[in-house]
Amino acid sequence: MPQRQYEVLIIGSGASGGWVAKELTERDLSVLMLEAGPPRIPTRDFTEHIWPYQLKFRGFGDQQRLLKNQPVQRLCYACDEYSHQFFVNDHENPYTFPPDKPFLWIRGRQIGGKTFCWARESYRFSDNEFKPRDGFGEDWPISYKDLEPYYDLVEDFIGVSASREGLPQMPDGKFLPPMNLSCGGLEARKVIEKKFGWRVMPDRVANLTVPHRGRPACHYCDQCQRGCHTASYFNSPSVTLPAAFRTGKLTIVSDAVVSDVLMSPDGRAQGVHYIDRKTHEHREARAKVIVVAAGALESTRILLNSKSSLHPHGVGNSEGVLGHYLMDHFTIEGAGGSMPALRSSKREPVGRPCGFLIPKYVNASGTPDRNSNFLRGYRFDGDGSQELYGHAFLLPELGDAWRKRVREEIPYYFSIEAQGECLPRAENFVTLDPNKKDAWGIPALHINAAYGENEKAMARGMRDHLSQILDAMNLASPTPPSKELSMFGKNIHECGTARMGTDPKKSVVDGNCKVHDARNVFVTDGAVFTTQGCYEPTLTIMAISARAGERIAQSFRRGEL
């Protein structure tokens, strides 16, 4: 039987793939989506309502099993006894790095990708990010105005709870009502706004504070990284993929590990070569257009591995740019202390899955805060909250005396961290490792990245400000901000390596996400970021994906693909 040729084939079903699928199928194109991982089943895989006493290791996790199967993934705060199923097996999915440049690569391989366990923080970029204009690197070929309608579309569809602040450096959007700040957050707002003149606002998060488009509001169990039976936060299997399925135009094949894009001798993509995750059988799938949306580094890996006579170094790599300009945010963490005035015997209502954010001020246009020791800037996030379990573990008494103290002296902690922008530099790059392969025989990625002088100078500015904030908050037993920058990759906001631009000699894709050197191949995830800003990338990934989906459908109908 001849193999069916779809109009579009999408690799990956996470934040990016979900949006491209929705936009294409709603424009009546037939779409095949190949996803490397299995589907997740809520009754088996979601654990947000399970209590520690229902787990074998009481929530502390089976350390031996984690160490054996997920020695890298377990270093992510969200990969524990409750939610390790959302993260990859490190032995099946190896990668390498130079001994002096460690990289933490956290991945989720399933229908939905990392959107099951993400922290849902959703901020728009502004032209501070799209057009930095400070003499370093390249601008994006698109501006905030180009992306604004797609931010509107995405926020309106997925539901983002946020306050309207009217700040030029972090545009407002189509928001659901914000969550409240905690008592500690309100105190931080009072102190920090007075001392620095900076806005302290609730995090903007893709959680529903009211029912929205058929999904119920959040019931504030505050365990989102474990799944959500009521679909009250955004993940692609609950939101974008059902919309695409409703059109009748989407087919998903799970457990399909794509190895490479199949190119014809005239330079057109014809389909992809993939391997069944469970049986290891090799297969091919055909389509007129290929969209690579496998998560920034996985997308670049597939492109690098797609070698043919016209593309001997991989699709998109005619000028040797593919793989370069890798970025990930760095954080300065650990700053905090206790707030004695908020010690209480009354429980604060719990379960608010958001803290507070202080947007970027330093070196942001429209603000007076400047630091000429480095380019670009940083933002802060933190929270104030009661500490019940840690407090109970640490108290020395036993029996009734212990119970009395646990109940009557609930301590209140404040914590804050800063997250800074990483410059896009050619010397931070990925290649295929010539010696290492994954469980399906596909070359593993070699990741060669380190923070440079600009990030180190920015970290000094971040630490200074964190110390000043701790002083102003007048905390008891304060802990200072960490001396070290977080490890590259640790923030799981990896971006770049197939960047967007107008000049094919300096970039891999154009402003519509089309690969410069292949007529019918698109990349739509964080790989295409030209700069990273200091804000979380996923809302921007989704807006770019929605825009690319619309553009692909238009080009397809015009017969250009």
Ligand X SMILES: Cc1cc2nc3c(=O)[nH]c(=O)nc-3n(C[C@H](O)[C@H](O)[C@H](O)COP(=O)(O)OP(=O)(O)OC[C@H]3O[C@@H](n4cnc5c(N)ncnc54)[C@H](O)[C@@H]3O)c2cc1C
Residues that bind ligand SF4 (CB under 6 A): 48, 207, 218-224, 228, 230, 232-233, 353
Alpha carbon distances (Å) from 388 to 344, 354, 395, 439, 476: 11, 18, 11, 43, 17
Alpha carbon distances (Å) from 119 to 88, 224, 234, 355, 537: 18, 8, 10, 11, 12
Question: Which of ligand X, ligand SF4, none lies near 161, with the C-beta cut-off 5 to 8 A by kind?
Answer: none
Measured CA to CA, the distance from residue 272 to residue 252 in angstroms comes to 14
Question: Which of ligand SF4, ligand X, none lies near 184, with the C-beta cut-off 5 to 8 A by kind?
Answer: none
Q: Does 383 bind ligand X (CB under 6 A)?
A: no
**Which is nearer to ligand SF4, 185 or 481 (by Cβ)?**
185
Binder among 7, 17, 490, 507 for ligand X (CB under 6 A): 17
Measured CA to CA, the distance from residue 55 to residue 61 in angstroms comes to 9
Pairing state between β 356-358 and 378-386:
antiparallel
**Which is nearer to ligand SF4, 121 or 494 (by Cβ)?**
121
Q: Does 335 bind ligand X (CB under 6 A)?
A: no
Measured CA to CA, the distance from residue 115 to residue 84 in angstroms comes to 14
Minimum distance from CB of 405 to ligand SF4 (Å)?
Answer: 29
From the CB of residue 448, how many other CB atoms can be counted at a distance below 10 Å?
Answer: 18
Binder among 536, 543, 546, 552 for ligand X (CB under 6 A): 536
How many residues bind ligand X (CB under 6 A)? The answer is: 42
Measured CA to CA, the distance from residue 337 to residue 151 in angstroms comes to 37
Q: Does 384 bind ligand X (CB under 6 A)?
A: no
Alpha carbon distances (Å) from 18 to 69, 199, 220, 252, 556: 28, 33, 26, 11, 19
Binder among 6, 7, 9, 16 for ligand X (CB under 6 A): 16
Binder among 141, 159, 295, 481 for ligand X (CB under 6 A): 295
Of 47-55, 115-123, 364-372, 461-469, the segment contacting ligand X by CB under 6 A is 115-123
**Which is nearer to ligand SF4, 42 or 504 (by Cβ)?**
42
Residues 200-239 that bind ligand X (CB under 6 A): 225
Measured CA to CA, the distance from residue 331 to residue 415 in angstroms comes to 13
Measured CA to CA, the distance from residue 138 to residue 506 in angstroms comes to 9
Question: Which of ligand SF4, ligand X, none lies near 355, with the C-beta cut-off 5 to 8 A by kind?
Answer: none
**Which is nearer to ligand SF4, 36 or 160 (by Cβ)?**
160
Alpha carbon distances (Å) from 124 to 169, 380, 403, 534: 9, 16, 46, 11
**Which is nearer to ligand SF4, 154 or 422 (by Cβ)?**
154
Minimum distance from CB of 381 to ligand X (Å)?
Answer: 10
Minimum distance from CB of 208 to ligand SF4 (Å)?
Answer: 7
Binder among 105, 118, 198, 412 for ligand X (CB under 6 A): 118
Question: Which of ligand X, ligand SF4, none lies near 167, with the C-beta cut-off 5 to 8 A by kind?
Answer: none
Residue showing the smallest CB distance to ligand X in the complex: 14
Minimum distance from CB of 228 to ligand SF4 (Å)?
Answer: 3
Give 542's contacts (C-beta < 8 A, 6+ positions apart): 15, 16, 19, 154, 158
**Which is nearer to ligand SF4, 224 or 335 (by Cβ)?**
224
Measured CA to CA, the distance from residue 105 to residue 96 in angstroms comes to 10
Q: Which of 133, 119, 126 is nearest to 148 (CA)?
A: 126
**Which is nearer to ligand X, 288 or 493 (by Cβ)?**
493
Q: Does 293 bind ligand X (CB under 6 A)?
A: yes
Binder among 7, 8, 10, 14 for ligand X (CB under 6 A): 14
* Strand-pair partners of 381: 357, 417
Q: Does 258 bind ligand X (CB under 6 A)?
A: yes
Helix, strand, coil distribution of the chain in percent, nearest 5: 25, 20, 55
Minimum distance from CB of 142 to ligand SF4 (Å)?
Answer: 31
Residues 40-99 that bind ligand X (CB under 6 A): 76, 78
Tokens representing residue 74 in the block: 């377990």
Measured CA to CA, the distance from residue 36 to residue 254 in angstroms comes to 6
**Which is nearer to ligand X, 80 or 187 (by Cβ)?**
80
Minimum distance from CB of 421 to ligand X (Å)?
Answer: 14
- The type of residue at 228 is C
Binder among 23, 48, 129, 298 for ligand X (CB under 6 A): 298
Measured CA to CA, the distance from residue 164 to residue 175 in angstroms comes to 8
Tokens representing residue 318 in the block: 């005619």
Minimum distance from CB of 177 to ligand SF4 (Å)?
Answer: 14
Give 36's contacts (C-beta < 8 A, 6+ positions apart): 12, 109, 255, 256, 257, 258, 277, 294
Q: Which residues bind ligand X (CB under 6 A)?
A: 11-17, 34-37, 76, 78, 106, 108-110, 113-115, 117-121, 225, 256-258, 293-295, 298, 302, 492-493, 525-526, 536-538, 541
